[in-house]
Amino acid sequence: MTTLSRPIGAPGGGALAIAWSRVWRARRLVERNIMVYRHQWLIIFSGVFEPIFYLAGIGLGLGGIVQTVPLADGRLVAYAAFVAPALLATAAMNGAVFETIFNVFFKLNFAKTYDGVLATPMGITEIAIGEMLWALMRSALYAVAMFFIMWAFGLILSPWGVLMIPAALLVAAAFSAAGLAGTSYLRSVNDFDVPMGLIVMPMFLFSGTFFPISIYPWFIQAFMQATPLYHSISLIRGLSTGIVGPAQAWDLVYLVAFFAFFMWLAMRQMERKLIK
């Protein structure tokens, strides 16, 4: 337990100084990840294309048939303008989930990367923050690329759209925290089917990504509204289309609370696995 009991900030520096010292040390893990991927940048960059393919194949292709979709305020918008913000939200989610599930699982169980990290002044908190920051960088790449695609095609319908990138970072933080927490429960690579097949994919299909949730039966709507991806899409779509009200405020509160809970759980579970 000595790693967790090390002094992490200057005496009397206060909570802000302690938090900054943890983030400052956590940057070393980010630097380590950058060095690892400096010759494998295509692995990271390839994720940029997935939402673009969905936008071209479904947003523009199916949009030729559907054409317009009603928003919550009654306005009709082009189908591509309805789908694109949802794809930006899912891009932020995917960047965070893939990084914190697959790569963290390998580091935790096979490479034993964190065992070596704990021999340095870094502790469990710094490991969790460092991996979250790295996941945020990956998600930000995807979100920014999608943002400029939307801007180029005129799919951002409101000045509020400039806040989509900060909102996408909040989405990425929420899902990276959940990914870190969930990975600590995985026992083998066979368990990847649980988070990806039973959680991520159903959320992608049933969170209002491609169609308004009002077309579904009430029990499916209830499931959708309980998922973090639904609130992510609702927040980012609201900013893109100019619908900013109590619903988007609730989305924001939901995502912040989701992040806080799973970040706490992630640090707790990583401590149990690494500190024996």
Report pLDDT digits (tens) over 157-174.
999 999 999 999 999 999
Mean pLDDT taken over the chain:
89
Domains identified in the chain, total number:
1
Q: Is residue 131 part of a domain?
A: yes
Cβ-based neighbours of 12, under 8 Å, separated by 6 or more: none
Asked if residue 61 belongs to a domain, the reply is yes
Q: Residues of the chain with pLDDT > 70: what percent? A: 95
Q: What CA–CA distance (Å, rounded) separates 214 from 221? A: 7
Examine residue 55 and state whether it is found in any structural domain, yes or no: yes
Do residues 179 and 135 touch, judged by C-beta distance below 8 A?
yes
Residue 195 structural domain:
14-274
Is 242 a member of any domain? yes
- In tens, the pLDDT along 38-55 reads 877 887 888 899 899 999
**Distance separating alpha carbons of residues 14 and 217, to the nearest angstrom:** 51
- Nearest Cα to 170, choosing from 218, 202, 205, 132? 132
The answer as to whether 5 is a domain residue is no
CB atoms within 10 A of CB 14: 10
* Count of residues in the chain: 276
| pLDDT score of 110 | 87
Q: Backbone dihedral region of 123: left (phi > 0), alpha (psi from -120 to 50 degrees) or beta?
A: beta
Q: Closest Cα to residue 210, out of 233, 231, 191?
A: 233
For the chain, which ranges sit under pLDDT 50? Answer: 1-12
Give a yes or no: residue 188 inside a domain: yes
**Joined tokens for residue 147:** 């943002």
Q: Is residue 187 part of a domain?
A: yes
Tell me what pLDDT residue 157 has. 95
In a domain, 3, yes or no: no
Nearest to 258 by CA among 196, 164, 185, 177: 177
**Residue-level pLDDT at 13:** 57
Question: How many C-beta atoms surround the C-beta of residue 253 within 10 A?
Answer: 11
